[in-house]
Structure 1
Amino acid sequence: MPLRSFRIDWFLVGMAAAVGLAYLLPDPGAAGGSLHPELLTKLGIALIFFLNGVSLSFASLKSGMLQWKLHLVVQAATFLLFPILGLLALWLIGPRLSPDLRLGFFYLCALPSTVSSSVAMTAAARGNVPAAVFNATLSSLLGVFLTPMWIALVMKSGGQAMPFGKVILDLLEWLVLPLVIGQLCRPLLAEWAKGHKKFISTVDRCTILLLVYTSFCDSMKTGVWSGHGVGVLIATLAGTAILFFVVLTIVSATCDALGFPSKDRTAAVFCGSKKTLASGVPMARLIFGAHPGLSIILLPIMIYHPLQLVICGALASKWAKRETEQIP
């Protein structure tokens, strides 16, 4: 493969820069700082989901709604298989990892699937795009309730309390309501959104980078990272890689056992193995609030995100060639 086909994603570079800026200049983004993160982060979250609501066409979901077996596999993988594997990992690891990192791994497992990249990868691999759109969207909506439910369960079993009702209300207020408002504005803004996809994506990603920066500022000020070295990064990378390949193998085997055609299998594998950073960072800000270890909680999803993009990108290229070869 020629070197020119490898392009550095500015968003991944931006995540590293946001963390570095938080290390060098934590005061503005920390609680009580000049950026007023308590309000700024919530406004940023609302903006992300408003733009998602404006961009999301529910009409495009209709053709994929009736494939219930495929939907069941994807949603069971996202909200059942992943959390069960997360619970098993917590039991096996025990106290060998810090409580914040263990919680971060389970938070990764409890998150919904991605929307844009799942659909993009499925399209690139010539899979069932309508089914991917339906499942990715359904996953995001279910995640508003199922993600905090799983987190509340794990925190309660660990002797910690989470105000589940308040978290759900916050998610409804700052995630679902802007999404609904965005949908209501579609008759006025749909054409604008269609012609400005790149601008919307840039605003979306820049807002996420701002949330990453403010999420790390408090941790830097309170010294959460002191005592955590390269070992934490290595353990997180190894753990996320193992998790990804286990889920990928199980979902693939399930699709084969159910006799899914290749296009449906592609959609199921990509939607069922992915986790969302775009929703994961905003949701973490609402679920965990000003948790001093928030940056470590977010570390697994921040590493899982580029890992899934690289591997799924390679698979999409391979499977697209397979689909092309099958065309008579």
Structure 2
Amino acid sequence: MKIKIDKFVVSIIITILIAYIFPQWGTQESKVPINTISTIGISLIFFFYGLKLSPSKLKAGLKNWKLHILVQLSTFLIFPLLVLLLRPFIQNSAQETIWLAFFFLAALPSTVSSSVVMVSLAKGNIPAAIFNASISGIIGIVITPLWMGLFVNEMQTDFNFTEIYLKLILQIIVPVIIGLLLQRFLGNFIQKHNSKLTFFDKSIILLIIYKSFAESFEGNIFSTVSFLDLSLILVGVVILFSIAFYLTGFLSKKLQLNTEDQITAQFCGTKKSLVHGTVFSKIIFGNMASIGILLLPLMLFHATQILIISIVATKKVAKNSNL
């Protein structure tokens, strides 16, 4: 079986290397207006996201309510609760930062594009995948900051919940609503240029990743993270994904979902959005020096989920073709 290398994962690695070699471009003192560019880019990403959402398709997708509830519970409840179980074992500030990074990962919504692609590859319920991945992003705008607000204010003295939601409303919710209102006029145009918009989205995400890691490298934050720590984070990511994946599969069988819906539940309910993660980190964590570390589990999870889901999807296709 041939496993394709995800080009975006490679781009992330290259971006982190550039941030390590040239961190000065992404610091607060830099004359390059990365912060302004990324702020405008975030609003455009969610404006285009609103343009892609079809209200009629979302309405039609409400019928399969058992599947939808399972996917959203997995995304916003099962994942956070799994990470919360580890909180009593925190012994120092370094461990607390890594735990918060995992909790941030767990509180994020699902990702649209890769969820739909993988569900399609494994012959799952594609309309349900589109519905759940899309609605997950909308729910995440509200739920993710609520989850993070329980713990971020313990580490960040200037955490302002009102300010966080004001930024979310202005930078994300308003653009999404405008996009939804214009969807009937520009929806078809956006679909035709979807590949260009995907390139734009990824470019903005790479820019935010660069700035986050540049500031962390400049502040020598990663000196506290050893190779052993990095390995343990990767192991933790794989374990978290595996538990959520098999637990979602178990619950989907208990709910007596058909095979297509079981595939959709597992593939959509265990994905986490790198787009939302990088955007939310910029708004929620602000100028925290450890923001690079806070994004580390998310990026490792992004690469891991693509690899594992690709293998699982390919095996399901092979199994179904032999039936």
TM-score range, shorter chain: over 0.9
Determine if the alignment matches structure 1 residue 224 to structure 2 residue 207. no
- 1:113-128 superposed matches below 5 A: 113-128=110-125
Aligned mates of 2:34, 2:257 — CA distance in 1: 47
Amino acid aligned to 2:41 = G
2:267 pairs, out of 262, 267, 270, with 270
Using the TM superposition, name which of 191-200 and 110-119 deviates more.
Answer: 191-200
Q: How big is the alpha-carbon RMSD for the aligned residues of Structure 1 and Structure 2?
A: 1.9
Q: 1:80 matched to which residue of 2? A: 77
Aligned mates of 1:307, 1:229 — CA distance in 2: 20
- 1:64-75 superposed matches below 5 A: 64-75=61-72
Aligned mates of 2:89, 2:245 — CA distance in 1: 21
Q: 1:319 matched to which residue of 2? A: 316
Q: 2:248 matched to which residue of 1? A: 251
1:310 pairs, out of 303, 307, 310, with 307
Q: 2:150 matched to which residue of 1? A: 153
Aligned mates of 1:321, 1:252 — CA distance in 2: 19
Determine if the alignment matches structure 1 residue 48 to structure 2 residue 39. no
Q: 2:100 matched to which residue of 1? A: 103
Q: 1:212 matched to which residue of 2? A: 209
Amino acid aligned to 1:195 = K
1:281 pairs, out of 275, 278, 281, with 278
CA offsets per residue over residues 216-249 of structure 1, 9 Å max, x none? 1111111111232212210110110000011111
Instruction: Tell me by how many angstroms 1:97 deviates.
Output: 4.9
Aligned mates of 2:12, 2:54 — CA distance in 1: 29
Q: 1:191 matched to which residue of 2? A: 188
Aligned mates of 1:294, 1:282 — CA distance in 2: 12
Instruction: Tell me by how many angstroms 1:266 deviates.
Output: 0.8
Q: 1:238 matched to which residue of 2? A: 235
CA offsets per residue over residues 265-289 of structure 1, 9 Å max, x none? 1111111111111111011100001
Amino acid aligned to 2:28 = A
Aligned pairs, how many? 323
Aligned mates of 1:142, 1:295 — CA distance in 2: 25
Amino acid aligned to 1:211 = I
Specify whether residues 104 and 94 from structure 1 end up closer, same or farther in structure 2 by C-alpha distance, changes over 3 A only: same
Give the unaligned 5+ runs of structure 1.
none
Moved over 6 A (4+): none
Q: 1:32 matched to which residue of 2? A: 29
1:20 pairs, out of 13, 17, 22, with 17
Specify whether residues 47 and 232 from structure 1 end up closer, same or farther in structure 2 by C-alpha distance, changes over 3 A only: farther
Determine if the alignment matches structure 1 residue 144 to structure 2 residue 141. yes
Aligned mates of 2:267, 2:40 — CA distance in 1: 31
Aligned mates of 1:234, 1:222 — CA distance in 2: 22
Percentage of pairs with the same residue: 35
Aligned mates of 2:144, 2:309 — CA distance in 1: 24
CA offsets per residue over residues 40-69 of structure 1, 9 Å max, x none? 221121122122222232333343211111
Contact map agreement 1:219 1:292 (CA 8 A) in 2: yes
Matched position secondary structure for 2:80 = helix
Aligned mates of 1:54, 1:69 — CA distance in 2: 27
Give the unaligned 5+ runs of structure 2.
none
Contact map agreement 2:34 2:211 (CA 8 A) in 1: yes
